[in-house]
Amino acid sequence: MTRLALWLALVGALLFGSPPATAQAKLPIRIGFQTGEVNVLLSHAVAAGLFEKEGLAVTLAQFPAGPAMLPALAAGEVDLAWMGEFPAVTGYANGLPIEILFMERIDATNVRLVANPAAGIASPTDLKGKRIGVAIGSTSHYHLLRALSQAGLKAEDVRLVNLTPANMPPAYAAGQIDAAFVWEPNVGAMERQGAKAIATTKSLGMITGGVWVARKPFVTGSPETVQRFLKAWDAAQNAYAADPAGVRAAEAKRIGMSGPDFDALVAGQSVAHPSFRQTLTADFLGAPGQEGESRLMKHLHGIAAFLVGEKRIQAPPADWAGLFDTKPIQAYLAGASAGVAKGVAKGVAKGASQ
């Protein structure tokens, strides 16, 4: 029996042939997330008890940024981690047994280049000789190099200041940098100090977002836990579609923002949360068997080349095929479809008997 067939058999038993999750023993799952990022769906899923409803006992592990999660994944201290594409590629290229299950979100304007108008910066062409805050080796650095290139500039034409995202707003307030390329909530903090956006992911013709990365031994060894996680996440996505403001409340509280202010922050991100079905298309992880031709895979190849150039990794992954694993989602969708068909058939039979 193939691995996918095993997944499908499991889902059928899990979703349709077993007692409700609340009647089962809770399965442990350790989830890593970034405190300096916006985690709308995760915060809602935790606050609304969606994981518990599916019989999961969740332990949350906080990290300041994606790269800090890699040692925890290597040590088996977390099972799933929400991170950007850069640490995912870095970890995989360095031999960590990790895989991307799906893209949690894609951002069009979350990552922005903002500048101080008083420094005479109105567009990227004005950056020559200026001090620019970036997290070296991260997506902000990658974005900045693209912005400079499109403006006819090189990295040597500006002064790069290596800062963590959280340290960029204070550095901007202190006049230590003239511009910065970073994401919410820190980019918004600088805009509230008067910084003006002069470039975004969208304006540069790039893509970026967040992915759910899992340890391979966890996925293969705990398939039922993975399926329960996917079911809870699907519920969070459906809730967000039905009541965006209500779902954002938990994350707004975590960040310490009012509802209207947080709504404005999210609007500035231009975020899209791909459905599981969208995950299996060329725009994201690709259709089964065609992952290598997907837009996300090609994007990750570009990131690997950048990381090699920055000496963050020694070489690109020798085998990219193991980075994506959509079998759990394929199994979940197949099980969900079977459940709908079963429900329809049951309704028809009930109607016929009345």
Of all helices (H) and strands (E), which one includes residue 313?
Answer: none
Domains of the chain: 3-106+208-344 (3.40.190.10), 112-200 (3.40.190.10)
Asked if the model's pLDDT at residue 6 lies above 70, the reply is: no
Residue 37 dihedral angles phi and psi, to the nearest 5°: -120, 170
pLDDT at 345: 46
Distance CA 86, CA 83 (A): 8
pLDDT at 295: 94
Distance CA 61, CA 320 (A): 28
Distance CA 251, CA 259 (A): 10
What's the whole-number mean pLDDT along residues 212-223? 98
User: Tokens standing for 225?
Assistant: 């836990």
pLDDT confidence tier of residue 35, bands split at 50, 70 and 90 = confident
Residue 218, SS3?
A: helix
pLDDT confidence tier of residue 338, bands split at 50, 70 and 90 = low
Distance CA 327, CA 333 (A): 10
Kindly report the length of the chain.
354
104-152 pLDDT, tens digit each: 999 999 999 999 999 999 999 999 999 999 998 889 999 999 999 999 9
254-306 pLDDT, tens digit each: 999 999 999 999 999 999 999 999 999 999 999 999 999 999 999 999 999 99
Check if the beta carbon of residue 308 is closer than 8 Å to that of residue 343.
no
Asked if the model's pLDDT at residue 97 lies above 80, the reply is: yes
Residue 135, SS3?
A: coil
Angle at CA of residue 299, ends 298 and 303, nearest 5°: 115
Distance CA 177, CA 113 (A): 12
